[in-house]
């Protein structure tokens, strides 16, 4: 019903409605964000992990920190799950959360910032002192009307920087220069062995952090960090994925901008266990590995598969779907990636919303059939729990099963109904049943 009504109401009226909500919420809770240093992290991929890394480093440095991401909330030592299926809560919920952070004495508020939240004024009245750009790949294109508009919406976070502001940009991303052009009191950039980016950043007067001599292992990644003033150090992350190097670099930039000691940064990041549902390994009592990850865009899925290929394994078995009511063009691409980069592919439901679930699955299969054959190494199992159980039943010693699309989400949406769901619990339950 909500989606039907939204289609009937003109967009300019919706925009005014969202703005009014944002203003009223900030007024009602007396602008709580003004009492904290607010850090916004935006981009397509890596936001949640980057936010959690930043919160951990600042906490390790002795500060009280508030955190709001797609998967979790935190106020000081108290942490709980975000079960709303929203990266940024509606204005009244968000301002209430910020009020609780402020009242608890948090110095920093680390906020994951989505394009929807920026477009819908959910963060109105929040004075961001720091902004981080992770990367940009096509997502929510149907909603925003094109990649260029999507980029500009993300840029609104940097436009809103106030006071002694800090901007932090991934120099290796193709649209980095767009985000570097926003005014800021202090600019930082990070890169992985990219001479061209380093050259451009020097011309812009950036402080630069780089990672070099990467070593990927079955339990994490090791690399050397080069920082301004030659404060260099080695870092070994205990989490999988070379892409997490970028998340670590962003958090290092932020920490150094706040004069956090190098040893504190190193200790915190080397202790970091990962964000829930992000390359999270699930112990299912089997002689093969099972990974759950939130990847739901082609670029993120590709990075996950590349990470798994670097690990010792026999075969990779993938379980994936696609969300309804958005980004239809990516569905065949997701299927094609899975078919090219994994040995056995299981297509299932994810969050159909108001779309026909069977049509979504068939659109993914269209891409997957370019490399795989239905019934042999490509399977259509709409029931997600059965799909996961099937994948685990097909796995042999030293295989890797990877379940993508939902990560640590706590529900699945059919129409307007939210059904309790957790991929990680589904993996554990399936493993238990197969073990009996």
- Give 13-48 pLDDT, tens digit per residue: 767 677 899 999 999 999 999 999 999 999 999 999
CA atoms within 13 A on the CB side of 364: 33
> Residue 434's pLDDT band (boundaries 50, 70, 90)?
confident
410 neighbors 351 (Cβ within 8 angstroms): no
State how far the alpha carbon of 83 is from the alpha carbons of 88, 195, 228, 403, 412, in Å.
11, 42, 40, 19, 11
- Counting other chains too, the contacts that 428-436 makes at CB distance below 8 Å and 24 or more residues apart are 428/282, 428/283, 428/284, 429/385, 430/284, 430/385, 430/388, 430/389, 430/392, 431/282, 431/284, 431/285, 431/286, 431/290, 431/392, 432/284, 432/285, 433/389, 434/286, 434/389, 434/392, 434/393, 435/285, 435/286
CATH 3.40.1190.10-classified regions of the chain: 2-271
Beta strands 207-217; 220-226: pairing state: antiparallel
Q: How many CA atoms, within 13 angstroms, populate the side-chain half-sphere of residue 310?
A: 18
Does pLDDT of 416 surpass 70? yes
Specify burial of residue 371 (Cβ count, 10 A radius: 0-12, 13-18, 19+): middle
Q: What average pLDDT does range 279-297 have in this prediction?
A: 92
Q: How far is residue 415 from each of residues 27, 235, 325, 360, measured CA to CA in Å?
A: 34, 46, 10, 14
Domain with CATH 3.90.190.20 in the chain: 280-435
Per-residue pLDDT, averaged over 242-261, amounts to 96
Instruction: Kindly tell me if the per-residue pLDDT of 74 is higher than 50.
Output: yes
Strand partners, 108: 37, 65
Confidence grade of residue 9 (pLDDT, cut at 50, 70, 90): low
Mean pLDDT of 227-241: 87
Residue 127: both structure tokens together = 């004075």
pLDDT of residue 338 exceeding 70: yes
User: Which residues fall within 8 angstroms of residue 20, CB to CB, at 6 or more apart?
Assistant: none
Collapsing DSSP to helix, strand or coil, 237 comes out as: strand
Q: In the 8-state DSSP scheme, what is residue 238?
A: S
CB 339 within 8 A of CB 332: no
Instruction: Tell me which residue of 41, 61, 59 sits closest to 51, measured CA to CA.
Output: 41
Average pLDDT score over residue span 88-112: 97
Q: Using an 8 Å Cβ cutoff, are 295 and 334 in contact?
A: no
Greater confidence (95 vs 327) lies with 95
Name the strand (E) or helix (H) holding 196. Answer: helix 195-203
d(C-alpha 169, C-alpha 185), whole Å: 14
Name the band, by pLDDT with cuts 50, 70 and 90, for residue 1. very low
The residue behind tokens 């600042």 is 58
CATH number, domain 280-435:
3.90.190.20
Mean pLDDT, rounded, of the chain: 91
**387, 250 contact by CB (below 8 A):** no
pLDDT for residue 436 is more than 60? no
| CA 16 centroid distance within chain | 29
User: Which sign does the torsion angle of CA 170, 322, 68, 292 carry?
Assistant: negative
Residue 143 phi, psi dihedral angles, 5° rounding: -70, -45
pLDDT level of residue 5 (50, 70, 90 thresholds): very low
CA triple 152-158-159, angle to 5 deg: 80
CA-wise closest residue to 130 among 40, 44, 209, 45: 40
Neighbours of 196 (CB within 10 A): 10
* CATH assignment of 2-271, among 3.40.30.10, 3.40.1190.10, 3.40.190.10, 3.40.50.300: 3.40.1190.10
């Amino acid at each position: 019903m909500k989606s039907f009504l939204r289609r009937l109401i003109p967009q300019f009226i919706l925009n005014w409605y969202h703005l009014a909500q944002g203003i009223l919420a900030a007024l009602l809770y007396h602008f709580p964000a003004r009492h904290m240093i607010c850090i916004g992290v935006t981009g397509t991929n890596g936001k949640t992990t980057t936010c959690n890394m930043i919160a951990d480093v600042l906490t390790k440095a002795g500060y009280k920190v508030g955190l709001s991401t797609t998967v979790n909330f935190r106020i000081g030592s108290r942490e709980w799950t975000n079960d709303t299926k929203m990266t940024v809560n509606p204005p009244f919920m968000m301002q209430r959360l910020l009020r609780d952070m402020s009242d608890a004495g948090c110095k920093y508020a680390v906020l994951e910032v989505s394009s929807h939240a920026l477009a819908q004024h959910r963060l109105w009245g929040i004075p961001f002192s720091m902004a981080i750009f992770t990367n940009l790949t096509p997502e929510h294109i149907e909603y925003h009307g094109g990649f260029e508009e999507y980029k500009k919406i993300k840029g609104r976070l940097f436009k809103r920087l106030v006071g002694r502001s800090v901007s932090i940009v991934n120099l290796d991303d193709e649209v980095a220069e767009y985000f570097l052009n926003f005014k800021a009191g202090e600019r930082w950039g990070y890169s992985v062995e990219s001479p061209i980016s380093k050259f451009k950043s020097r011309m812009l007067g950036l402080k630069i952090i780089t990672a070099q001599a990467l070593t990927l292992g079955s339990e994490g990644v090791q690399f050397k960090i080069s920082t301004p003033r030659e404060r260099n150090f080695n870092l070994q992350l205990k989490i999988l994925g070379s892409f997490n190097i970028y998340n670590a670099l962003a958090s290092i930039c932020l920490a150094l901008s706040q004069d956090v000691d190098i040893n504190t940064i190193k200790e915190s990041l080397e202790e970091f266990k990962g964000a829930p549902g992000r390359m999270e390994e699930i112990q299912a009592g089997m002689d093969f590995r099972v990974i759950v990850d939130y990847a739901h865009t082609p670029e993120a899925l590709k990075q996950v598969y590349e990470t798994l290929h670097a690990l010792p394994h026999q075969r990779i078995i993938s379980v994936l779907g696609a969300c309804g009511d958005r980004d239809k063009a990516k569905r065949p691409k997701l299927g094609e990636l899975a078919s090219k980069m994994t040995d056995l592919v299981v297509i299932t439901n994810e969050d159909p919303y108001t779309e026909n679930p069977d049509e979504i699955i068939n659109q993914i299969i269209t891409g997957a059939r370019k490399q795989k054959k239905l019934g042999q190494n490509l399977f259509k199992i709409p029931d997600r729990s059965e799909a996961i159980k099937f994948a685990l039943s097909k796995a042999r010693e030293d295989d890797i099963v990877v379940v993508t699309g939902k990560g640590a989400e706590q529900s699945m949406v059919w129409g307007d109904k939210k059904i309790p769901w957790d991929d990680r619990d589904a993996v554990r339950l399936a493993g238990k049943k197969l073990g009996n």
